[in-house]
Amino acid sequence: MRLKSEVWVKAYVRRCNASGAFAAVVRHGDDDAGAIFIKINRLDGTAGLYGPAPAGFGGDGEDRSWNAHIDRADARERDVDAYLARQAEFDSDLWIIEVEDRAGRHFLEGWITA
């Protein structure tokens, strides 16, 4: 059984904060099944973005899996924000979590699909 989005987000934010990064919910989506996007703010004007893997790439569908949507070292934060704004226009139920970490850690080990 897949965790509700709200439960997964709360646990993820706690994990990031306990590891020395700062994570916060920027946009609250649907509590049960909203798509979750994770913005990694490197605090130098650059950012990365991880979002849900397309159907079929996540294994059995029970666990969440992630793809890098924007993961270049030189990706500008404003470009990531523009991408997220377009996604929010398309899906009003999505979540956006922002992680501030100078090292660019995403804390998604084991959940990233190739």
**Per-residue model confidence (pLDDT) at position 17:** 98
- Residue 111: which pLDDT band, with cuts at 50, 70 and 90? confident
Report residue 16 as tokens: 């990031």
Residue 2's pLDDT is: 78
What is the 3 state secondary structure string of 5-16? HHHHHHHHHHHH
Does position 89 have pLDDT exceeding 90, yes or no?
A: yes
6-52, pLDDT tens digit by residue? 999 999 999 999 999 999 999 999 999 899 999 999 999 999 999 99
Domains of the chain (ranges; CATH) run 5-100 (3.40.1530.20)
pLDDT recorded at residue 110: 85
- CA 96 to chain CA mean position, Å: 6
- Rounded average pLDDT over 87-109: 96
Q: Give the DSSP letter string of 35-77.
A: -EEEEEE-SSSBEEEEEEPPTTSSTTSSS--EEEEE--TT-BH
Using CA atoms, how far apart are residues 37 and 23, in angstroms rounded to an integer? 12
